[in-house]
Structure 1
């Protein structure tokens, strides 16, 4: 492994992505953030630099395949390689099957699932330059439940997040033994996307979670950082549910 440890986080400007960036910085990684939210990304970059880490930022639509290749080329030119890729960027979709226009379904799949293809294909060559790496993709509890009645997102989102689990298992076989590929499945987490739900029903939701509270970005980030550790454990092709053990909410 090269002296500099490099981690790429899509959707790294805020929420779970920001939490992952902080957790990886604490473990000695320099960060590459990809997001459309330029002001929030600048804030996160400043926070990481205050922690003593270097940070590159790229404003980009993660559904854009060509842009992912451009970003990988820029990272290679600047830092030479990549050790970790966190596919975190996502988009909610509360529409039912009969309400959802085709273009909205396509966009949900593109942001949540195709983006993983885009960035894995772009950054695997940079991992192989240093003998391998780790990929962690953000699925969801909805991949298992299909989205409960009160979920922020329904069938389109659940479809994309379930696709991530299949992609994770397939790529763990395809990219091993040098690259470990895993996923995490958060439940209800306090983020900008989920805040409407957690603010209005936080106490009610907590009663139906075994640990008695809704999750925080740090709860997810700690698991992502573990999977992205410098000395990877004997784990690949797996997903870890991070939901405090919740039932129908």
Structure 2
């Protein structure tokens, strides 16, 4: 079965909207690209190095009757990030929603062997600086065009905290994004809405290989008794980009199965 299947009617339609999803070759980003395309959006898929996976996603969307484009850029490089933003408008003609999903994989990628300072620097460049710069500029352009939506991805434990290096690193980075979301929403209101999804334990690459101890911890901490799936975040993203959420801005919405840590 392909990633994508086209819908012609229903709730939370995004027909004709141009949507950019950074970091969308796999995991939550890929699920969002598929879901938003099913809702009728014209999507721009972005990746840094997983080009084959991103190309397969674009082909799947196109084969299902959707419109999809692909851009490759290293968002830790401000020049590449700025060029990607410009090329996004060129590819889609108009951008109606910008989704900042890209982040450094410190748990399963090559970066997992880095020291604390290296990991902190990488998070600062991609998860924080790139997210803020792209959201500001995309938001400015949509504001000038008369409207749009910015959606950021945070972390449910950023406000409550989690022990260990990973908790300290991700809480600092995602906490910054969540606070920034509220401020940008005030700056761009009432023309552009800005919200953030604070995701909990989502079964992406790390979740699929997590130890038995982590598997138990996730289930123990989550009242709904299961891991979140990328589709759970994607469904919420679809709602937040749609007209059905027109009265929501400046919000951090938790997608974590009710966890209270």
TM range (shorter): 0.7 to 0.9
Q: CA separation in 1, counterparts of 2:78 and 2:201?
A: 30
Matched residue, 1:17: 29
Contact 1:12 1:35 in 2 (8 A): yes
Q: CA separation in 2, counterparts of 1:154 and 1:100?
A: 15
Deviation at 1:231, TM superposition (A): 5.0
Contact 1:109 1:157 in 2 (8 A): no
Does the alignment pair 1:135 with 2:150?
yes
Q: CA separation in 2, counterparts of 1:76 and 1:14?
A: 23
Deviations 1:143-189 (A, max 9, x none): 1222246xx92212110100011110110010111100000111111
Can you give the 5+ residue segments of structure 2 that lack an aligned partner in the other structure?
A: 1-14, 108-113
Contact 2:161 2:167 in 1 (8 A): yes
Deviation at 1:223, TM superposition (A): 0.8
Q: CA separation in 2, counterparts of 1:198 and 1:178?
A: 45
Matched residue, 1:104: 119
Does the alignment pair 1:69 with 2:121?
no
Deviation at 1:72, TM superposition (A): 2.3
Provide the TM-score with structure 1 as the length reference.
0.87
Matched residue, 2:99: 86
Q: CA separation in 2, counterparts of 1:242 and 1:65?
A: 30
Matched residue, 1:181: 194
SS of residue paired to 1:194: helix
Provide the TM-score with structure 2 as the length reference.
0.84
Matched residue, 2:132: 117
Cα pair distance change 1:112/1:198, threshold 3 Å = farther
SS of residue paired to 1:145: coil
SS of residue paired to 2:184: helix
Q: CA separation in 1, counterparts of 2:141 and 2:93?
A: 7
Matched residue, 2:209: 196
Contact 1:143 1:159 in 2 (8 A): yes
Q: CA separation in 2, counterparts of 1:75 and 1:122?
A: 12
Detail structure 1 runs of 4+ shifted over 6 Å in the superposition. none
Cα pair distance change 1:229/1:13, threshold 3 Å = same
Q: CA separation in 1, counterparts of 2:243 and 2:45?
A: 19
- CA-based RMSD of the aligned residues comes to 2.3
Deviation at 1:200, TM superposition (A): 6.3
Matched residue, 1:55: 68
Deviations 1:107-138 (A, max 9, x none): 11212111212322342344235411001100
Contact 2:44 2:92 in 1 (8 A): no
Matched residue, 1:205: 218
